[in-house]
Structure 1
């Protein structure tokens, strides 16, 4: 079966299904829609993690960030403070309320970091209004939240348990004292792990309008030459979909944060969830350790945990198949 045209997460799911003796039919390759069959049962799966394991309402809940925050707060879990706006004029006119603080402006139902702006304490009203306008261009509801200091981690929770943890680093290059940023990006993009359309473990780094503007904010251009060992970030957001790197933390993440991720997923009634959490100190294993849950994600990518830039393959597709009723078959005993 040729699966090379499918997203990498779907490829991984199919490979594991076939290994378990599950019949696979690709119903729509463009949509990564497959049918899985074994022992008279059929399950339909889209994009590897859109399955019957999650109810329609839990998916809607995870996609609505304002509702997600309400549900998490009711469960006693911490989320960033901020405000919700349902019309652009009100949000744009509220600059004075937020001025002087680091902010995140984002659409209520964003995916892959689209329309998300991170504003520094020195951001002016023009920059703030532009971020609000960009967010409203993608959604009718926009959130303006406080920026929470710390590192961002993705927790993959399947079947009530944390199966993998990943730290995501924004798109970046490291200088060698000779090549400019454009050349360093081109070199990094030659890594066979990088591609486009989620068919490779990592996405290629772009040097588009967003990256150019972020470099300009640091007094840099694509022609700037970083010093030896100097890391230059090209974006604020850490999404793998925008060229970020991934570092596996599954074995080292303290249990307190794993339990928090599981509590949050249970509060949303979700069975397959990608949870994003900010942790100031990931070595702090105390029960009252600081954290903030940014969002819950329906249809989380699997391949980022299977093929991290640094770390081992967690083979998380196994847990999806377990959850939808295609467990590993035990060897038949012979007498």
Structure 2
């Protein structure tokens, strides 16, 4: 059964079938795991007495305590440091405490200013080292999140590492939106060309995630001394955003085979630091190309998206859905009649 047939089958079962549910159901059914819908129209896998549901990236795989701990970035960081995992120092401040927050930041400059739990990439301010910039970033986060986390800045290249039952299953290097100059085209034309490349890629993640020119892009260009009308030299890289979210034009390159044994060991130690954490996406900064000296774990997401590992912008696809099924149901076999209850 291919993914299109799986999606149709899930629809017939009255299951909300996004990309994640479709991948997981497809791999589950091929291994003899029964699939059904629950009262909330969630994908439910069952074998024997075991029941596991999925609602997009949400599921009941992880223990409740693990989910609660990872919801708060400062709590997560303390747990990690207590177990020997490199995690930057941070403190959460109330929205009205910009003064005390700046006094703490002065000891750690440069710093990162972001929401203490959740938050979109555009609310993460990296490399802040002056009060005017700090105050602006602090107030922007406070307006949206009520509290503000201030964290020591750590150099390194951003990676997303997927843990499945305590083992590294896949890793991706995340690259912010950018264009490469050709010595002829303006940045505006290069952005249009990049968007066409994303459409022609036939990769649904990137087709649906175009690079939109907004205030964040204009501000990033201005910080590099260029504008939409500038013509960068051949091979010159022009950054368009600070965050690496694929949804805003970033790219995810498979980097599973690039991780060193020490980096893998640190990532897998995260599962031991947080009891009941079976599946997680780690935001790690790894030393690459002269940027950074030690690996660090920035955040732990207990409801990680897996589709990006199946559909990277560059590098091999990693069948993490199959790895997840095999970890959850290690005794499952293929082609069982149980699959279509």
TM, length-normalised to structure 2 = 0.83
Q: How far does residue 112 in structure 1 lie from its aligned partner after superposition?
A: 4.3
Could you say which residue in structure 2 is the equivalent of 1:72?
Answer: 80
In structure 2, C-alpha distance between the alignment counterparts of 1:263 and 1:18, rounded to whole Å: 32
SS, match of residue 296 in structure 1 = strand
Could you say which residue in structure 1 is the equivalent of 2:267?
Answer: 261
Could you say which residue in structure 2 is the equivalent of 1:192?
Answer: 199
Q: Does 1:165 align with 2:191?
A: no
SS, match of residue 3 in structure 1 = helix
Q: 2:24 aligns with which of 13, 27, 34?
A: 13
Could you say which residue in structure 2 is the equivalent of 1:239?
Answer: 245
Could you say which residue in structure 2 is the equivalent of 1:133?
Answer: 139
In structure 2, C-alpha distance between the alignment counterparts of 1:133 and 1:73, rounded to whole Å: 28
In structure 2, C-alpha distance between the alignment counterparts of 1:245 and 1:32, rounded to whole Å: 32
In structure 2, C-alpha distance between the alignment counterparts of 1:330 and 1:19, rounded to whole Å: 5
SS, match of residue 190 in structure 2 = helix
Q: How far does residue 39 in structure 1 lie from its aligned partner after superposition?
A: 5.7
Residues 194 and 202 of structure 1 are in contact (CA less than 8 Å); yes or no, is this contact kept in structure 2?
no
Cα distance change of structure 1 residues 7 and 206 upon mapping to structure 2, 3 Å threshold: farther
Could you say which residue in structure 2 is the equivalent of 1:45?
Answer: 54
Aligned residue runs from structure 1 range 200-279, under 5 A: 200=206, 203-269=209-275, 270-279=277-286
Unaligned runs of 5+ in 1: 284-288
1:195-231 CA distance string (max 9 Å, x none) = 99x8558732222221221111112222322221111
In structure 2, C-alpha distance between the alignment counterparts of 1:219 and 1:328, rounded to whole Å: 58
Root-mean-square deviation (CA, aligned residues, Å) is: 3.1
Q: 2:63 aligns with which of 55, 58, 73?
A: 55
Residues 195 and 204 of structure 1 are in contact (CA less than 8 Å); yes or no, is this contact kept in structure 2?
no
Instruction: Report how many residues are paired.
Output: 321
Aligned residue runs from structure 1 range 145-160, under 5 A: 145-160=151-166
1:3-55 CA distance string (max 9 Å, x none) = 39954333322322233344444669xx99322345675431111x4322201
Q: Does 1:89 align with 2:89?
A: no
Cα distance change of structure 1 residues 174 and 78 upon mapping to structure 2, 3 Å threshold: same
Residues 193 and 200 of structure 1 are in contact (CA less than 8 Å); yes or no, is this contact kept in structure 2?
no
In structure 2, C-alpha distance between the alignment counterparts of 1:35 and 1:304, rounded to whole Å: 22
Q: How far does residue 272 in structure 1 lie from its aligned partner after superposition?
A: 0.5
Q: Does 1:294 align with 2:298?
A: yes
Cα distance change of structure 1 residues 292 and 41 upon mapping to structure 2, 3 Å threshold: closer
Q: How far does residue 139 in structure 1 lie from its aligned partner after superposition?
A: 2.1
Residues 29 and 335 of structure 2 are in contact (CA less than 8 Å); yes or no, is this contact kept in structure 1?
no
Unaligned runs of 5+ in 2: 9-15, 337-341
In structure 2, C-alpha distance between the alignment counterparts of 1:201 and 1:19, rounded to whole Å: 28
Q: 2:328 aligns with which of 316, 319, 324?
A: 324
Could you say which residue in structure 1 is the equivalent of 2:12?
Answer: none
Could you say which residue in structure 1 is the equivalent of 2:150?
Answer: 144
Q: How far does residue 271 in structure 1 lie from its aligned partner after superposition?
A: 0.5
In structure 2, C-alpha distance between the alignment counterparts of 1:70 and 1:144, rounded to whole Å: 14
- Per mean C-alpha deviation after superposition, the further-off stretch among 147-156 and 134-143 is 134-143
Residues 205 and 311 of structure 2 are in contact (CA less than 8 Å); yes or no, is this contact kept in structure 1?
no
Residues 265 and 296 of structure 1 are in contact (CA less than 8 Å); yes or no, is this contact kept in structure 2?
no
TM, length-normalised to structure 1 = 0.84
Q: How far does residue 116 in structure 1 lie from its aligned partner after superposition?
A: 0.7
Residues 63 and 109 of structure 1 are in contact (CA less than 8 Å); yes or no, is this contact kept in structure 2?
yes
Residues 156 and 164 of structure 1 are in contact (CA less than 8 Å); yes or no, is this contact kept in structure 2?
yes
Residues 275 and 296 of structure 1 are in contact (CA less than 8 Å); yes or no, is this contact kept in structure 2?
yes
Residues 159 and 283 of structure 2 are in contact (CA less than 8 Å); yes or no, is this contact kept in structure 1?
yes
Q: Does 1:104 align with 2:115?
A: no
In structure 2, C-alpha distance between the alignment counterparts of 1:222 and 1:27, rounded to whole Å: 50
In structure 2, C-alpha distance between the alignment counterparts of 1:222 and 1:265, rounded to whole Å: 45
